[in-house]
Chain A
Amino acid sequence: MLERANNLTHPQYRWRLVLGVGLLCGVLHAALLRRLDLGEWQPDVFSIAALYFSLYANRQGRYLPCLVLGLVRDFLSLGLLGSYAVLYSLLHKLASKARLRLDPDHFVNAAAMAFVGTFLVNFGYHAMLALSGDGIGWSRAAMRCLSMACASAPLAPFVFVLANHGLGRLGVQRLAGGYVNV
């Protein structure tokens, strides 16, 4: 009841955050991560950001921010428009279900959810590539997705803590259940 009442409050900084985070992640991926010699172990910061919105945002503000974040990634990449948008909207569904059982404020839970989420998003993207005839082979893709998930999982708890802290400093309200009013 309290959460329902809180959720009705006007979301704060939602679209500014989504666009800012989307552009920042785009620049990180395009300019920084590809310059570091990480090989297959490249963290997927875009998916971690989408997962944060799925797990922590106001109940009314989880799906659309994820969708828009996916569209931002699609706009800044060569792939088909809508690929990441679809994957992030599905990620939001999965994360909402997982949140009912696991507390994302717990370090291990956050890392586990980031591992599974990043793996599924990237494997799903490869499935789309494979459907259009551009796949790189399922076993190889699975190994690559596992590497990316392994690199992303340890980052997620720190990103979540930093994001919560940053939003707190911005004056964003905390809602019942550990959600933030974005």
Chain B
Amino acid sequence: MPRNSEKLNLSWFLRHPLVATCILLAMTVLLPFLRVGERVKLWALLPVAKAAGDEAQSPAEAELSEEERNLLELRRAREQAAALLDENNALRQALAQRSNQPQDLVSEFAQAPMPPAVDARVILKGDASSWRHSCVLNRGRKHGIKEGMPVACGRTLVGRTFMVDEGHCIVQLLTDPGFSAGCLMVGQGEAPLRVRGVLRGDGSARPHFPRLELEDVAVGERVEAGMKVLTNDFSGQYPLGLAVGEVREVIPQAGFLQVRIEAYLDLDALDVVQVLLHERPTLEQQAMQLLRKKK
């Protein structure tokens, strides 16, 4: 017997799990198109990011005595000096990492020109889901960053910007299952090898020691352990020549090769990264580039 007195209002919907589940599923389908969820999520993450960042609110200085104001200034100067020292150390580390790139990569790829970059500090690492991998940077739209730009540490690929706010952005790391990038495997031998593949994040359980896989490598391609894996600019999403890792194992499957690679990156040691101001060219721009190459 249906209860006629029950009103169809919001609380009725929320009390009935199946109805609410359908609403949430519909939201799950619609929100990615509207990008509302991502904006709301960024808004929710920002207080945490700001708390972790260097944007502490200053007290009401007008109410302080001169002595207290001097003390405050002294404390600020000390904090600034400590922050600069930290930044200096981090930049030195980044420079050392850049210069420690494997010597085998010194080829046309390693010398490929890099787009201009914005240095950024990682202010929050980690994700509440065991399946997703992300981090928050202290640079955003006002520094010229847009969604989808590649993020690197030296010449090593880290991920891409996923959500961008005025002063912060969230990076989807290369170990995230939603991450993919066209790559080239380059062999150093008498006859240099170049094999294409697609790097896919696998939600690695050890993001600080990632082992990734390359997909869409056709059977019959000559892939050997020790080959270097670099980004490919075929789709225009990433610039040519960002280092990803080294081939460790090749397992033949039906129709394709499963290529396991060991990433160069130590995600736990990430402190200062570079957001490359590189945008994917439009179809028209890509067509023009192809025409120019043919001429």
Q: In the complex, are the beta carbons of A78 and B205 less than 8 A apart?
A: no
Q: In the complex, are the beta carbons of A75 and B41 less than 8 A apart?
A: yes
Q: In the complex, are the beta carbons of A81 and B31 less than 8 A apart?
A: yes
Q: In the complex, are the beta carbons of A80 and B32 less than 8 A apart?
A: yes
Q: In the complex, are the beta carbons of B205 and A144 less than 8 A apart?
A: yes
Q: In the complex, are the beta carbons of A76 and B45 less than 8 A apart?
A: yes
Q: A42-B205, A134-B177 are in contact. Are A148 and B162 (CB under 8 A)?
A: no
| 10-68 of chain A: CB within 8 A of chain B | 25-26, 29-31, 33-35, 37-40, 42, 44, 46, 63-64, 67
Q: In the complex, are the beta carbons of A34 and B177 less than 8 A apart?
A: no
The answer for the CA separation of A125 and B134 in the assembled complex, in Å, is 17
Q: In the complex, are the beta carbons of A86 and B28 less than 8 A apart?
A: yes
The answer for the CA separation of A89 and B21 in the assembled complex, in Å, is 7
Q: In the complex, are the beta carbons of A31 and B132 less than 8 A apart?
A: no
Q: A40-B205, A135-B177 are in contact. Are A34 and B21 (CB under 8 A)?
A: no
The majority secondary structure among interface residues of chain A is: helix
Chain B residue nearest to A83 in the complex (CB): B28
Q: A78-B134, A90-B21, A136-B203 are in contact. Are A26 and B27 (CB under 8 A)?
A: no
Q: A82-B24, A90-B21 are in contact. Are A29 and B205 (CB under 8 A)?
A: no
Q: In the complex, are the beta carbons of A39 and B45 less than 8 A apart?
A: no
Cβ–Cβ < 8 Å partners of A97 in chain B: none
Cβ–Cβ < 8 Å partners of A134 in chain B: 177-178
Instruction: Tell me whether A9 is interfacial, beta carbon within 8 Å.
Output: no
Q: In the complex, are the beta carbons of B45 and A75 less than 8 A apart?
A: yes
Cβ–Cβ < 8 Å partners of B28 in chain A: 80-83, 86, 128
Cβ–Cβ < 8 Å partners of A30 in chain B: 124-128
Q: Which of B15, B17, B132 has the most CB of A within 10 A?
A: B17
Q: A78-B172, A81-B28 are in contact. Are A46 and B37 (CB under 8 A)?
A: no
Instruction: Tell me whether B74 is interfacial, beta carbon within 8 Å.
Output: no
Q: A75-B41, A78-B162 are in contact. Are A25 and B27 (CB under 8 A)?
A: no
Residues 75-117 of chain A, each 1 if its beta carbon lies under 8 Å from chain B, else 0: 1111111111110011011000000000000000000000000
Q: In the complex, are the beta carbons of A34 and B126 less than 8 A apart?
A: yes
The answer for the CA separation of A81 and B40 in the assembled complex, in Å, is 9
Q: A42-B205, A80-B32 are in contact. Are A29 and B129 (CB under 8 A)?
A: yes
Interface size of A by CB at 8 A reads 49
Chain B residue nearest to A26 in the complex (CB): B128
| 28-85 of chain B: CB within 8 A of chain A | 28, 31-32, 37-38, 40-41, 44-45
Q: In the complex, are the beta carbons of B27 and A81 less than 8 A apart?
A: yes
Q: In the complex, are the beta carbons of B128 and A46 less than 8 A apart?
A: yes
Q: Which residues of B contact A (CB under 8 A)?
A: 14-15, 17, 20-21, 24-25, 27-28, 31-32, 37-38, 40-41, 44-45, 124-134, 162, 170, 172, 176-178, 202-203, 205-208, 268
Give 9 pairs: A residue, B residue, CB < 8 Å, sorted on A. A29-B127, A37-B206, A39-B206, A63-B20, A67-B14, A75-B40, A82-B31, A122-B131, A136-B203
Besides the known contacts A76-B44, A79-B129, 11 further A-B residue pairs in the complex with CB atoms under 8 A apart: A31-B125, A34-B125, A46-B128, A63-B14, A78-B162, A81-B27, A82-B31, A89-B17, A89-B20, A90-B21, A128-B28
